[in-house]
Each structure stands twice: as C-alpha cells, then as structure tokens.
Structure 1
Amino acid sequence: MLNLNYFIESIPNIESNEELREPQIIAYQRTYEHFVMNKERNHAIIVLPTGVGKTGLMGILPFGISFGRVLIITPQLVIKDAVLDSLDPEHPKNFWLTRKIFERFEELPSVIEYESKTSDWALEQSNIVILNIHKLQERLDSALIKRVDSNFFDMIIIDEAHHSTANTWETSLAYFSNTKVIKVTGTPERTDGEKIEGQLVYKYPLSQAMANNYVKSLERIHYVPDQLFFTIDKNDNTLFSLEQIRDMNLKDEDWITRSVAFSEECSLRVVEESIKILNEKRSTGVPHKIIAVACSIWHAEQLQRLYEKNGQDVALVHSKLPKEELNIRLRSIENHKVQVVIHVAKLGEGYDHKYLSIAAIFRPFRHKLPYEQFVGRVLRAIDPDEVQTPEDNIACVVHHKELGLESLWKFYKEEKEKSDVIKYIRDDDPLLNDRVSQKKIEKHTGSVFEDGKGSVERDSFIDTELLKERERRQKIEADKLKKLKELLPNIPDEALLQMVRREEEGSPSSKILRPDKYLFRKMRNLDDRIKKEMVPEIILEYNIPMDGSQLSISKLFTGKYKWISKKVNNNAGMLATYLEYRLNEQVGISDRSTWSPEEYDSALNLIEDLFILVKKILDSEHK
C-alpha cells in the first residue's frame, strides 16, 4: 500500500549533503520556510539558471513539505523525458541515489509517467506523477483532471514556469486550487510582459553560477565585415553601402538584420568561423558540437548545405519532422554522429547536451527570452573528468555583427561584472530589463554582398577555473556491474544495477517504485510466455507448420472457439489467439490494461493450466 505520508516520514540527506549544490539546498530551505514555517499559500517561485540543477531541485522539494502525492508538470516532451530519466528510480543515474539523498533503493519514492493508458492502480500507487502539460487539457477524455479528484495531489511543481500563464495551466491550477504550487524557471520574464503569479522565494543569479563554475564560461565572437552592400529591391542591381542605408534612412534596422540573416554570403562567413572554433575545440578529443539557430525550415536547409559543403555532418531538427525521424536525428546527436545541430524552434529550453559548446546565431532575436534560452543550450558544463583543457568548458557565441544582437549581449556583460563581486546568494537582485522594440517587422529583405576579408571580435564573458572535483561513479559498484554484464549479457543495465544495489543491501526490495512499468513488465512477461515460449514449443513438439492452417480442424477450434480458425489463417496465430482469448475468459476481463497486479499473477498461473490442456488435446489428435 502507498504511504501518503512518505514525504513527511522519510529522512533524506539534503541540508548537509555535499553532493548537492548550494543553490539547490538554499532553494529547498526557502521553500520550506514559505510553506511550512510561514504557512503561506501563495505559489512559490524559484529562479535557477540553466545547468545549475533545476531537475535535482524538483526531486528534493517535496520532502518535509508535501503531505501527499506530487505532480510535476513540464511544458514539452523533451523536458518531460529529461525530468523522468533523472527521477526514475530504475534509471542507472537516478538523482536520489547518485546524489546520495538516499542510500538504499527501497527508500526512494514511487514515480510514474502519466499517459492516456495509465491505470488507476498505477496512479494510486504513485508518490510522484510526471506529465507533459498537454495531458491536462480538458478537451481530452484522458486528461488527468478527469481521472483524479481535486485533492489527489498535495503539491504541484511546474518546470519552466514562465509558460504557466497559458490557459491550460491556469485551468489545471484552478482545479487543484488547494494544492501547494512551486514554479521553477530559469527565465522568469515573458516576452509578452505578463507576470508569473506567485511569490519569489529564491533567485540564483547566472553570474553566481558562472563564478562557482556550475556552468560553462562564455565568450562572444562576432564577425565584422569590411564592407556590406545591399540591394533595396532584389530585382534591382543598384547597390547601397550599409552606411548609405542608415544615413539616408532608406530602411530600418529590422530590415537590415533580416537581410543579413538571409544572406548566404553573410551566413557563410559565420559558418566558416564557427567551424574554425569547433576544430580547435575538438582537437582535445572532446566531442564538442555547434548548435545553430535559423529563421525558418527553408533557412535551416540553406545553412545545412553550407555546413555540409564545409565537411560537417549535420542534424537538422524542426517541429515538422515525423516523430520517428526526429528521434533518429536526436540519437545521432547523442551518439556523436554529427558535428553540427541546426534547429528551428525545436531544441529550446529543456534540451540538454553538454557537448554543445558553440552557439551559431543566424537569425535576429527581437526579445531577450528566446535569445537567453538559445544561449542557455551551450552553458551546461562538461564533467571535469572529461575536460582536457580549460577551453573545453568555455562556450562561444558566434554571429554576424549586423544581426543587431548587441543589446541582448549586454545582459551577459553585466552578469560578468556582477560575478566578480558576488560572494553570497542574493535572492532579491532585480532582473535586468532589456526593453526591445515591438514595432512591426518588415518581412521582405534585400540582397547583401560583402567586400573584403572581414574580421572577428571576441568579447570574453568570464574567466573561470574548472571544478576541481565532481562526483565519479563508485568504483566498487561499477566493477560489480561489469562482472554481472559479462555473466548476463542480455539483461538491461538498469536491471543489473538494481541487482547490484539489492545485493549490497542484503535483501530484495518489495517496494514498487515504478507502478506503471511494473504493470507493463507483467503484461510483457505474460505476452512473452505465450508468444515466445508456449506457441513455439507446441509448433516444434508437434511438428506443426508455423504458417499452415492444419489446426483449423483441431478440437481446439470447435464450438464457441470456431471463430478463431476462421479469423486467423495460420497455425501459430490460431494457437496464440486461443491461449490469449481463453486466458481473458478465465480472468474475466478482456482489457488487460485494466488488470491489477493480482490479476496478472493469477493469469500467469492460469496460462500454465491452459498450456497443459492444449497439449493434452493435441496429444490425443497426434497419436
């Protein structure tokens, strides 16, 4: 039975845990003060920069604060998957164990990912439910708010909370109106200026994260052309210099920056510069990569051609890709099959790949938020045990000077200056307000031509030292895992890891930490027993052609089961269907997605009796 007081009765190692980062501990303490000591009911807002440890923070926030289940809401699938991997008790790098919040497997909370097929039993057995916001939409019959009571959760944690003013979020929070709500974000300002509801309980400045080496250092490199020439009309060969365009007020700055962005000649210079930096970084053996941002899919394809002509393997990702193809391209990034990643509104917040070290910008940003989110993709630090030189943890932002990004870079410049003097956390530091013009952008552009070789200008962000020490995997556990892998090569690493941990603890854990996976495994085991063991054994034992139809005249398929031989046209399929159907009959429920663990256990016993029955009938027919 689920212990609804789990988060109150557990004894996690948080406040004196050297494996946690200071901002994680302080953010936890401030949240505890907000809800427990001050008994506030306002939503709590926490601001942590990208790469500092938001997911880990979400993993410790419920302890001592939540008196029941916890719901974690993410704004998109990429973020949801990242959060689930980190908090999945069965994942090899589970946060609570790797960061020594708990020492033993059975101490962990039970976690499920909510999907439309999630059973009521799995929901009831969960301490933490993780879902994407779309699973809360009222228009869906499978929406979570249609499945549970309004008091089902005692705490809701919202990741990337600057999205939380949208209708679906507000509807959901209104439904769970008595729930403690914590909003975690790295970018609390919205492009529309709308404020996030709640009380700021803690903010950790990016400058502090840089000073403490939690994230990469950063420098800006922009390409400066010797001369730029524009056509006002693409069909007109009259050329105007950049100075003439500005002095004669022929076009505004938006037109200039968009024209530069779509100029293949200007883009090529940035492509070449970014590749030069990449080659320097990759010379250490670390698989650094470029991440480039484009204006549109067409524009991204143009950039892809430029990078490929310069000898680079490219993964282009955008929202129009089929899911299967998107996954293939994402895997090519993770497996280091490409050197360049180009994205169009796809790999924004929540996408983490620490080897993204060069941000190549090919579009003008009009607002600080999307600019910061893109730059944030290259800030995640590479582990010290992988770093070969200090350069490995210095990221570069590369772009053409005339993209008009100077005012946005100003934010990082000022953060650098603050990082020199910040010694302690200051949760009341004001965020920088970098107002951006909201005027209408002229959509058409002119052709742009360059004259001369041009040059590059470097603007250092901050000069930091690498962290001296970071957590390494425990050698004893790694050795045991390696030996088990040699003995059991076909068993997944996750299962082997649990075997190692349970062996160390002296006894197996009876606690179910992934109720959704627990049921899925039982379903899969039953399916495998029928289709991968029983049916093949019968086919071989009685020398029955797998794809023939001889069994259609067997006693098995008479009477009420005659329909099987008419519907299924091969012997293997007939046997599998017979066993499946008879089993469902005996359990009494045809929809296995609704079965409880007890019903699966019963089914595993019943199928063995049915197997014996089938063999007896076939024995009588094959004498």
Structure 2
Amino acid sequence: MNHNYFIESMPNIDSNSELREPQILAYQAIQEHFVQNKSDEHAVVVLPTGVGKTGLMGIAPFGISFGRVLIVTPQLVIKDAVLDSLDPDHPQNFWLTRGVFSKYEELPAVIEYDSKTSEWELNQADIVILNIHKLQERLDNALINRVSHDFFGMVIIDEAHHSTAPTWERTLEYFSAAKVVKVTGTPTRSDGEEIKGKFVYKYPLSQAMASGYVKSLERIHYVPDKLYLTLDKKDGTVYSVEQIRDMNLKDEDWITRSVAYSKECSLKVVQESVAILNEKRSTGVPHKIIAVACSIWHAEQLEELYRGLGQEVALVHSKLKKDDLDTRLKAIENHKVQVVIHVAKLGEGYDHKYLSVAAIFRPFRHTLPYEQFVGRVLRAIDKEEAVTEEDNIACVVHHKELGLEDLWKFYKEEKEKSDVIKFIDREGESFERLTPTKIDKMTGEVFEDAGGKLERDSFINTELLLERERRLKEENEKINRLREILPTVPEEALRQMVRREEEGTAAAKILRPDKFITRKKRNLDDIIKKEMVPEVILDYNVSKEGTELGDSKLFSGRSYKWIPQRIRNNAGMIAAYLEFRVNELVGNSNRNTWGPEEYEAALGHVDDLYEHLRRVLDSEFRKEG
C-alpha cells in the first residue's frame, strides 16, 4: 500500500475551472497553513451550505497529507451524503465529475468504516469515512481501538461546530500527530463555545448568494390583525396578545408555544407556503416545502393540514424504522411528494436542492438550529435547470408571533459580514453554559380575527430579486393593457393569459397512460440492451458469450458479487449490472409499480451509470480515448 498517495498524486486543482472559486481558495489556504507556515494548529474553514464542503474535503489532503485520511461526520445522513460524493464506484463521484482526475485508476481507495471492516480493508484504504459514534472507546470494534495513533496523516472533521464534544476531543487527542482540518457552514455553537483552531478561510453567505452558489433568501411572515388567547382551557375568557404582554399574564415562551400548537395559526402558514410552492412549481421545477414541527404528534397534525390542501407529504422523524425512513427519503428524491415535514431529523447535512420553501411551525430559542433549518433551502438549482429567477429564491414562512424576529435579524446581519472570524474568535470572552431547566408545556387556545396580512423581507437585494421585480413590473403593464381590451375579465384570468403567452404551449396531456408507461419501459430496456451492452462488447473486444468481465472491479462490491456468479456471459453481466443499479438508484426494484416519475429518474440515472461503467473498464483494459 502506497501511504504517500496524497503526496505523489497529480490532481487538477489550482487551475480547474470545474471547481468553485471558494473550494480552490480554501484548499490553497489549508496548504499555506500546513505546508508553507508549517503550523500544527487545527485549520478551520467556513463554507456555507451548498457551496461545496464535501468537494473541499475531497481535495484538501492532496500535497498535504503524508498518509491516510480520516473523515469524521456527526450523523448518518451526513456520512451517507459524503460517502456518495467521494465513493469511486458512484457514477457521480466528485473527483471525476469535477475533473480533478480523468481516469478511474487515479482515484483514492475509499472505505466506509463499520464493525465488519477487516484489517486488510483498513490497510488498503486511502480515505476512511465514518460516523463519530464509530469512534467511541467503549465499543470494542471502535476504530480508535483498532489502529495506531499515527495511522492517519490527516483528520477532516465535517460540521466542525460539533467538535468540542468529548468524543470528538478524545479522537483528536488520540490522532494528535495528524493534521486536522475542520469544515463547517455554522461556525458557532448554541452554547457559545468556540471552535478550536485557526480560521484559515471563510466564505460569507452573502457572497455565495451573489455568486449564485446558493439561493437568494426572503422571509414572508403572516401578521394577524388581532390575536386572542385563553389562559386556561377551562376558562373561556379571551385576551389579546397585547393584553397578555401588558398585564404580564404569561411570558413570551408561553405565547410562542401556544401559537405553534394552534391549528388555526398553523393553517394560515400552511396555506401561504402552499401558495408560494404552487407559484414556484409553475416553472416545471419540482420545488418542495420543508416544514419543521415541535413533536411527532405536532407533525402529524401538520401533515393532515397539508394533505387537506391536496399535497403529498413525507413525514420524517427519529422514531422511523430504517426501511421506512429510506422509503420516505427515496420518495423525496424521486419527487413523489411536495411537502417534507421533519422532527429533529433532516437538519444539517441533508441536501436536496429542490427544497425551496421553509415553513416554520416551532419556536426556535437559539441561532444554531434556526440557521441549520434555513440552510436546508439554500442549495441552488443548477443554472441549466432553472427556468426563471424565481427558481433560485428561497422563502422562509412563519407566523409573526412565533418570536423569530431576533433570529432573522441575526441571520440577516451576520451573514452579510465579511469577517465572521471576529464574531467567533473573541479572545477572553466567557460564555454561560446552558443548564437543564424544567420545561413548561402548557399552552392556551388561540383565536384570530378574519383579517391579516403577509410581510415580505428579503435577505439581500441580489440580482435575482431585482430581476423578479423587473419581470413583475413588465407583467403588470401587460395586464393593464389587456384590461383596457377585456374590462370584465378578472385580474387573475388576465395574469394567467399573460403567463401562458410567455411560457408557450402547455405540455400535452397523456391520453393513453397505459401506452405511455409501455413506451417508457421499452425505451429504458432498449437503451440498456440494444445500445449500451453491444457498445461495451464491441468497444472492449470481448465475446458476448465469454466470462472474462466477471473479474472486473464492477462486481467487487458486496452488493454486486452475485452477478457473475449467477450470469455466465459478458453480455448478460453488463445488462444485469445496469438494470440492478438503475433499480437501486430509483429505490424500487418492482418495475410493475413504476410510474412516469420512476422512469424519468431511471433514464437520468442510466447514462451516469454507463459513463461510470466505461471508466472502470477503461482502467482495466487501458483503453485510450
């Protein structure tokens, strides 16, 4: 095993136009810190969600790490996302898609550590990826109990605001000889503790928005004309929220909690979030709402409200069995739902670029969880896919009386600062640790009068928001001209006439859905069996009846070893590999239950899989071009 892989490799980084500028600049800052400055201090990098933290982790070791690299993540959702991006066997692995390397055989050997990982696998690996729980010393099979303290040349901590917890600190103490890189999009903790290390690079969220790496952001909150509450459900006396505050009858926590659990208040936010979603989805992009609830019971009430408005919902929480969770996550990825409701499950690290409306139904008391939730809607839609500027403007929607003003102000102002280090690295400042307190869960009944309004607040006046203003102004001018010709037609009908003119003809209706599905299935089968398999057989000069492809790395993974064992010819092995992996990525092996969405997803996946297959075979057959 070559332990100098990261020193001897020749990646394309500094002049790579496929990498984002903050990724390259962060890499150069890490290199300067450890190589030029020869520092032993931990290097801290701040990159907002969606800018490319995983990609940075993929290039950070090159030219810097003498030895293997350990990547530690704080939870399973993040670990799976990192592993997918850096898995050499994944069709969309970062190094090849971003041109860091051009050949499969140049890639680092990557493993996911678990209790079944063998000594041989550990020794063969260049990169080991695991969840922090696999490092706990109390577990006999914990990595920290199986390898020497100098086993790794670099340790990369993802979501580094967790790294002051005891398990993280013990890990870094054990691997103290390794260079440590800490990457985070949230450089502060709820308890005020600082991230240890030198902040070598930070990229502000405002700059990420201006550069189009993440969505622009605006807030819309519902403001009732009057809000009334009861103090005791047994007493029907109602008080306005102003009376409760003026008379000091209840504290703000009680008010915000009562509003959060009020079905009437929630319905207003549900209705507004769905209205925003419908507007966004009119472009054809599969935008979604992500909603956060106080509890599983509360989430189920919200699910009922959204379903009442005709929305398909995926409810995700920590009590779900793994199979149920995987099914719901696949439904999100394959656009089978319009609304995702989560309870402390899809926070940091969950990435789905079509989450564009953040609906808040719980009071946030601290900045960190609020930022992490809002971060879920910031990942940008690709420019090639976005139809209008609206596709890359995210919305945060909530009731005004949830008490989120200070957090929005913090979010807005802090992310505009060019120097987040001054906020974090405050020498000598002490912070009061949070202490457990008894939580009052009592609420009052809440009533609103019929009136109310929506207030809009933009995060930053980006070009997207300016373009939207221009488009709406132009649209209103056309409506006014139409109104002169058609004075009796309602305004909404005029607006739809203008938009249909701009969008062109509507998509054709599927009049024979049975034949539609049959055509889709035949199309997928033909692509695999009549195009891809013959090309492989001819291009690599192998016999269709032969078995030599059974030794390919394609079938080395645990999930694919069965293919050459059961299918004894090259053509069948390639077809089975593509068919099986397509089903795997779609998340449903029973094609009899597939609808249009599954076939569309499959047609997208199969090209990526075929490209990956050819890269692997190129490396084995040393095929040029």
Specify the alignment match of 1:370 in structure 2. 369
Seen in structure 2, the aligned counterparts of structure 1 residues 483 and 335 have a Cα distance that, compared at 3 Å, is closer
User: Quick one: which amino acid aligns to residue 402 of structure 2?
Assistant: L
* Superposed CA offset, 1:145-189 (max 9, x none): 122111111101010011112222122222212111111111121
Seen in structure 2, the aligned counterparts of structure 1 residues 197 and 208 have a Cα distance that, compared at 3 Å, is same
Seen in structure 2, the aligned counterparts of structure 1 residues 502 and 120 have a Cα distance that, compared at 3 Å, is farther
Specify the alignment match of 1:308 in structure 2. 307
- 1:98 offset after TM fit, Å? 1.1
1 CA distance for matches of 2:237 and 2:344?
35
- 1:222 offset after TM fit, Å? 0.1
TM-score (normalised: structure 1): 0.75
- 1:224 offset after TM fit, Å? 0.3
Seen in structure 2, the aligned counterparts of structure 1 residues 251 and 520 have a Cα distance that, compared at 3 Å, is same
2 CA distance for matches of 1:429 and 1:103?
40
Retained in 1: the 8 A contact 2:216–2:462? yes
Seen in structure 2, the aligned counterparts of structure 1 residues 400 and 227 have a Cα distance that, compared at 3 Å, is same
Q: Secondary structure at the match of 1:232?
A: strand
| Superposition map of 1:149-228 within 5 A | 149-228=148-227
1 CA distance for matches of 2:538 and 2:385?
26
Does residue 454 in structure 1 map to residue 488 in structure 2? no
Q: Secondary structure at the match of 1:169?
A: helix
Seen in structure 2, the aligned counterparts of structure 1 residues 498 and 102 have a Cα distance that, compared at 3 Å, is farther
- 1:520 offset after TM fit, Å? 2.7
- 1:415 offset after TM fit, Å? 5.1
Specify the alignment match of 2:441 in structure 1. 443
* Superposed CA offset, 1:285-341 (max 9, x none): 111100000000011011011111111111000000011101111111111111100
Specify the alignment match of 2:261 in structure 1. 262
Does residue 430 in structure 1 map to residue 423 in structure 2? yes
Seen in structure 2, the aligned counterparts of structure 1 residues 514 and 372 have a Cα distance that, compared at 3 Å, is farther
Retained in 2: the 8 A contact 1:366–1:436? no
User: Quick one: which amino acid aligns to residue 459 of structure 2?
Assistant: F
Seen in structure 2, the aligned counterparts of structure 1 residues 286 and 350 have a Cα distance that, compared at 3 Å, is same
Seen in structure 2, the aligned counterparts of structure 1 residues 124 and 500 have a Cα distance that, compared at 3 Å, is farther
- 1:413 offset after TM fit, Å? 2.8
Specify the alignment match of 1:340 in structure 2. 339
Does residue 243 in structure 1 map to residue 281 in structure 2? no
Seen in structure 2, the aligned counterparts of structure 1 residues 461 and 81 have a Cα distance that, compared at 3 Å, is same
User: Quick one: which amino acid aligns to residue 66 of structure 1?
Assistant: S
- 1:518 offset after TM fit, Å? 3.1
2 CA distance for matches of 1:38 and 1:513?
44
| Superposition map of 1:459-470 within 5 A | 459-465=457-463
Q: CA RMSD for the aligned pairs?
A: 3.1
Q: Secondary structure at the match of 1:303?
A: helix
Seen in structure 2, the aligned counterparts of structure 1 residues 521 and 464 have a Cα distance that, compared at 3 Å, is same
Retained in 1: the 8 A contact 2:71–2:158? yes
Specify the alignment match of 2:134 in structure 1. 135
Retained in 2: the 8 A contact 1:206–1:415? no
Specify the alignment match of 1:621 in structure 2. none
Retained in 2: the 8 A contact 1:89–1:514? no
1 CA distance for matches of 2:539 and 2:272?
49
1 CA distance for matches of 2:222 and 2:255?
16
Retained in 1: the 8 A contact 2:313–2:340? yes
Q: Secondary structure at the match of 1:181?
A: strand
Retained in 2: the 8 A contact 1:110–1:514? no
- 1:463 offset after TM fit, Å? 3.6
Specify the alignment match of 1:520 in structure 2. 558
Seen in structure 2, the aligned counterparts of structure 1 residues 72 and 369 have a Cα distance that, compared at 3 Å, is same
Specify the alignment match of 2:92 in structure 1. 93
Retained in 1: the 8 A contact 2:205–2:416? no
Point out 4+ residue stretches in structure 1 off by more than 6 angstroms: 435-440, 482-485, 495-503, 512-515
User: Quick one: which amino acid aligns to residue 170 of structure 1?
Assistant: E
Specify the alignment match of 1:331 in structure 2. 330
Q: Secondary structure at the match of 2:236?
A: coil
* Superposed CA offset, 1:183-213 (max 9, x none): 1111121111222222211111111111211
1 CA distance for matches of 2:345 and 2:279?
28
2 CA distance for matches of 1:180 and 1:416?
29
- 1:85 offset after TM fit, Å? 0.8
- 1:411 offset after TM fit, Å? 2.4
Seen in structure 2, the aligned counterparts of structure 1 residues 361 and 250 have a Cα distance that, compared at 3 Å, is same
| Superposition map of 1:416-565 within 5 A | 428=421, 430=423, 442-465=440-463, 486=526, 488-489=528-529, 518=556, 520=558, 524=562, 528=566
- 1:25 offset after TM fit, Å? 1.0
Retained in 2: the 8 A contact 1:48–1:205? yes
User: Quick one: which amino acid aligns to residue 251 of structure 1?
Assistant: K
2 CA distance for matches of 1:143 and 1:524?
30
Q: Secondary structure at the match of 2:27?
A: helix
Specify the alignment match of 1:60 in structure 2. 59
Q: Secondary structure at the match of 1:237?
A: strand
Q: Secondary structure at the match of 1:286?
A: coil
User: Quick one: which amino acid aligns to residue 210 of structure 1?
Assistant: M
- 1:38 offset after TM fit, Å? 1.1
Specify the alignment match of 1:25 in structure 2. 24
Q: Secondary structure at the match of 2:278?
A: helix
Aligned length: 498
Gaps of 5+ in 1: 468-481, 504-509, 531-623
Retained in 2: the 8 A contact 1:220–1:459? yes
Larger radius of gyration: 1
2 CA distance for matches of 1:362 and 1:499?
56
Q: Secondary structure at the match of 1:391?
A: helix
Retained in 2: the 8 A contact 1:216–1:395? yes
Seen in structure 2, the aligned counterparts of structure 1 residues 499 and 98 have a Cα distance that, compared at 3 Å, is farther
1 CA distance for matches of 2:314 and 2:425?
34
User: Quick one: which amino acid aligns to residue 390 of structure 1?
Assistant: E
Specify the alignment match of 1:274 in structure 2. 273
1 CA distance for matches of 2:415 and 2:423?
15
User: Quick one: which amino acid aligns to residue 430 of structure 1?
Assistant: F
- 1:74 offset after TM fit, Å? 0.6
Retained in 2: the 8 A contact 1:217–1:379? yes
- 1:354 offset after TM fit, Å? 0.4
- 1:453 offset after TM fit, Å? 2.3
Retained in 2: the 8 A contact 1:48–1:203? yes
* Superposed CA offset, 1:576-599 (max 9, x none): xxxxxxxxxxxxxxxxxxxxxxxx
Retained in 1: the 8 A contact 2:283–2:387? yes
Q: Secondary structure at the match of 2:134?
A: helix
Retained in 2: the 8 A contact 1:220–1:461? yes
Q: Secondary structure at the match of 2:122?
A: helix
User: Quick one: which amino acid aligns to residue 132 of structure 2?
Assistant: I
1 CA distance for matches of 2:464 and 2:123?
45
Specify the alignment match of 2:348 in structure 1. 349
Identity of aligned residues (%): 70
| Superposition map of 1:1-80 within 5 A | 2-80=1-79
- 1:443 offset after TM fit, Å? 2.2
Retained in 2: the 8 A contact 1:46–1:182? yes
2 CA distance for matches of 1:436 and 1:405?
22
Specify the alignment match of 1:409 in structure 2. 408
1 CA distance for matches of 2:170 and 2:433?
32
Retained in 2: the 8 A contact 1:109–1:513? no
Seen in structure 2, the aligned counterparts of structure 1 residues 237 and 79 have a Cα distance that, compared at 3 Å, is same
